[in-house]
Amino acid sequence: MSETASQTETPVVDAPPARFDTLPLDAKLLRAVADSGYLTMTPIQAKAIPIVLQGRDVMGAAQTGTGKTAAFSIPLLQRMLKYENPSVSPARHPVRALVLAPTRELADQVADNVKKYAKHTQLRSVVVFGGVDMKPQTAALKAGVEVLIATPGRLLDHIEAKNCVLNQVEYVVLDEADRMLDIGFLPDLQRILSFLPKARQTLLFSATFSPEIKRLAQSYLQDPILVETARPNQTASTVEQRFISASDDDKRAIIKQILKERAIRQAIVFGNSKLGVARLARAFERDGLRTAALHGDKSQDERLKSLDAFKRGEVDLLVATDVAARGLDIADLPAVFNFDVPFNAEDYVHRIGRTGRAGASGLAVTLVTKADARLVADIEKLIKRKIDLDPFELQDSRPPRFERRRHDEDETASSRPAPRTPAFRPPAPPKDPFFDKPYEASAASGEPPAWEKAKSAAPAKGLSSYIKPKKQVAALFGAKKPAPVEG
């Protein structure tokens, strides 16, 4: 027997996930991580955290929902622990780390995570974004803060108002950088980065990387290390993706039927337009579902209240535009519905990333009409997967709308009581036959009517019948007496 044949193959066993307590982290941070219920790291965290702790610039690519926020916030907090102090002086708490996010919701989500991980330390953090009053934000900034999370537009407002100084920033994070470029924040980013010291550590995290993002990294990152835990633009394997062929009139009924069949408690429904989302939310509300709308025309206070109600379970459906496609971390969200196929294929990856987070299973249903063929082809090209449209049979066998309306009208007419005749009717007034006769000329009068007499009047001698005779004017007005006519 040959040596090769005699050798037994050893099965390849995947290594267990790395634990947070294996990292060189301070006990305060490990305690905060344990309080959050996290023991093992996700792949992006296991790869990125050691590199960030070394002080290197990082480009992190991972699909949404894999823990990118912890991958940059925990090591940055560890590196800033040398600056923590109990002083109340604002000068002892300058801005050391700056995190830029594209949307208010994502900035608020990052701020919540940073506060959660830093709760046992004396490091301060604050979030600033537009749509709300600047005064509370100004007071928080002037009190001193080490970690500043901001949207680019509002940060520039505070910089111009001299509410914050960024000359001591050592760490910069560009979160969801592709989205910031999509919505036109590149000039704002360039202005903000010009205020920062050249010697700094820059981290760029995103779910997708485009050529524009790579050019941005080449301009502002120094010898970055690319950290990828999944193929670019790959969707999470824990999400069941379904594409259903549907007409516009049936979309709402399909969503309601799937919610009922699968006993889904909560879901996010994505639409493409603010007006469409507002109308759809009202329609679901009429159907008896507790619904909240989330779109750009809502004030920041309304948006935060809707999100809080949804997280507390007080709302069944959150109908939203792509403003909610990134940064929303809702635990155990079972389903996401794309009422409209997104115009941008990359937004599809972010939308369905709201479900199936942290290893949980999820359902993503996209309702496709005949007009969406090009958009579906773009999604196929992005996720490199053939998309098959599934038919869907509605259980509701109601007749068409016009027949239903006619049927309802017939039922209403048949069930309507017959009009009651009044018990008493007043007698009709007596009729005079004289007033019922047509007009007849009086036979006694032989004179013709006035208009006939005017026709028969003889015209003046020597004058045309179309020339009217001169009228006599009273002498009071200076008229001369007509000369007498001699016979």
Same-domain check for residues 267 and 341: yes
In SS3 terms, 87-138 reads as CCCHHHCCCCEEEECCCHHHHHHHHHHHHHHCCCCCCCEEEECCCCCHHHHH
For residue 427, is it within any domain? no
For residue 479, name the pLDDT band (cuts at 50, 70, 90).
Answer: low
Q: What is the pTM of this model?
A: 0.61
Is the confidence at residue 116, as pLDDT, over 90? yes
- CA atoms 250, 307, 330, 381: torsion sign: positive
Is the confidence at residue 153, as pLDDT, over 70? yes
In SS3 terms, 355-424 reads as CCHHHCCEEEEEEECHHHHHHHHHHHHHHCCCCCEECCCCCCCCCCHHHHHHHHHHHHHHHCCCCCCCCC
Question: Could you tell me how many residues make up the chain?
Answer: 487
CA-CA distance, 102 to 328, in Å (whole number)?
A: 13
Same-domain check for residues 243 and 186: no
Other C-beta atoms closer than 10 Å to the C-beta of 202 total: 20
Identity of residue 364: A
Taking the chain, what is the end-to-end CA distance rounded to the nearest angstrom? 169
Same-domain check for residues 152 and 172: yes
Kindly report the CATH number assigned to the domain that includes residue 371. 3.40.50.300
Span 6-22, pLDDT tens digits: 343 333 334 567 888 89
What DSSP state is assigned to residue 322? G
CA-CA distance, 173 to 150, in Å (whole number)?
A: 11
Segment 367-379 shows an average pLDDT of 92
More confident residue, 414 or 471: 471
pLDDT at site 81: 94
pLDDT at site 425: 64
Same-domain check for residues 105 and 124: yes
Strand blocks (E) in 152-252: 171-175, 201-206, 225-228, 239-245
441 — alpha (psi -120 to 50), left (phi > 0) or beta?
A: beta
More confident residue, 3 or 123: 123
The domain boundary residue, chosen from 390, 414, 443: 390
pLDDT at site 465: 61
For residue 281, name the pLDDT band (cuts at 50, 70, 90).
Answer: very high
The domain boundary residue, chosen from 390, 424, 443: 390
- Give which of 253, 276, 246, 237 is closest to 355, Cα–Cα: 237
Segment 327-332 shows an average pLDDT of 66
For residue 5, name the pLDDT band (cuts at 50, 70, 90).
Answer: very low
Which of these ranges, 56-60, 216-220, 237-241, 309-313, has the smallest mean pLDDT? Answer: 237-241
Same-domain check for residues 224 and 280: no
Segment 30-58 shows an average pLDDT of 91
pLDDT at site 341: 93
Same-domain check for residues 72 and 192: yes
CA-CA distance, 97 to 101, in Å (whole number)?
A: 13
CA-CA distance, 43 to 299, in Å (whole number)?
A: 37
pLDDT at site 11: 39
For residue 424, is it within any domain? no
**How many structural domains is the chain composed of?**
2
> Residue 423 is encoded by which pair of tokens?
């018990």
- The mean predicted confidence, pLDDT, of the chain is 81
- Give which of 125, 127, 116, 115 is closest to 93, Cα–Cα: 125
Q: Are 242 and 366 in contact (CB under 8 A)?
A: yes
Same-domain check for residues 31 and 168: yes
More confident residue, 13 or 23: 23
CA-CA distance, 52 to 65, in Å (whole number)?
A: 20
For residue 424, name the pLDDT band (cuts at 50, 70, 90).
Answer: low
Which of these ranges, 13-17, 125-129, 379-383, has the smallest mean pLDDT? Answer: 13-17
Is the confidence at residue 55, as pLDDT, over 90? yes
The domain boundary residue, chosen from 345, 373, 390: 390
For residue 481, is it within any domain? no
Task: Give the CA diameter of the chain.
Answer: 169
For residue 435, is it within any domain? no
Segment 457-483 shows an average pLDDT of 59
Segment 427-437 shows an average pLDDT of 71
Q: Are 322 and 357 in contact (CB under 8 A)?
A: no
Same-domain check for residues 141 and 26: yes
pLDDT at site 399: 46
Segment 180-206 shows an average pLDDT of 88
pLDDT at site 481: 61
Span 223-276, pLDDT tens digits: 999 988 755 555 666 788 999 999 999 999 999 999 999 999 899 999 998 899
CA-CA distance, 442 to 419, in Å (whole number)?
A: 50
Q: What is the enclosing helix (H) or strand (E) of 323?
A: none
pLDDT at site 182: 74
For residue 448, is it within any domain? no
Same-domain check for residues 310 and 210: no
> Residue 312 is encoded by which pair of tokens?
């507390």
For residue 147, name the pLDDT band (cuts at 50, 70, 90).
Answer: very high
For residue 477, is it within any domain? no
Domain that holds residue 97: 20-228
Same-domain check for residues 40 and 156: yes
Same-domain check for residues 306 and 368: yes
C-alpha distances (whole Å) from 374 to each of 233, 345, 379, 381, 384 are 18, 10, 9, 11, 15
Which of these ranges, 262-276, 327-341, 434-448, has the smallest mean pLDDT? Answer: 434-448
For residue 155, name the pLDDT band (cuts at 50, 70, 90).
Answer: very high
> Residue 212 is encoded by which pair of tokens?
């524009």
Q: Are 227 and 59 in contact (CB under 8 A)?
A: yes
Other C-beta atoms closer than 10 Å to the C-beta of 415 total: 7
Span 58-103, pLDDT tens digits: 998 866 667 888 999 999 999 999 999 999 999 999 999 999 998 8
Q: What percent of the chain has pLDDT over 90?
A: 41
pLDDT at site 78: 95
C-alpha distances (whole Å) from 117 to each of 71, 123, 341 are 12, 10, 37
What DSSP state is assigned to residue 22? G
pLDDT at site 351: 84
For residue 206, is it within any domain? yes
Same-domain check for residues 83 and 185: yes
For residue 262, is it within any domain? yes
Is the confidence at residue 443, as pLDDT, over 60? no
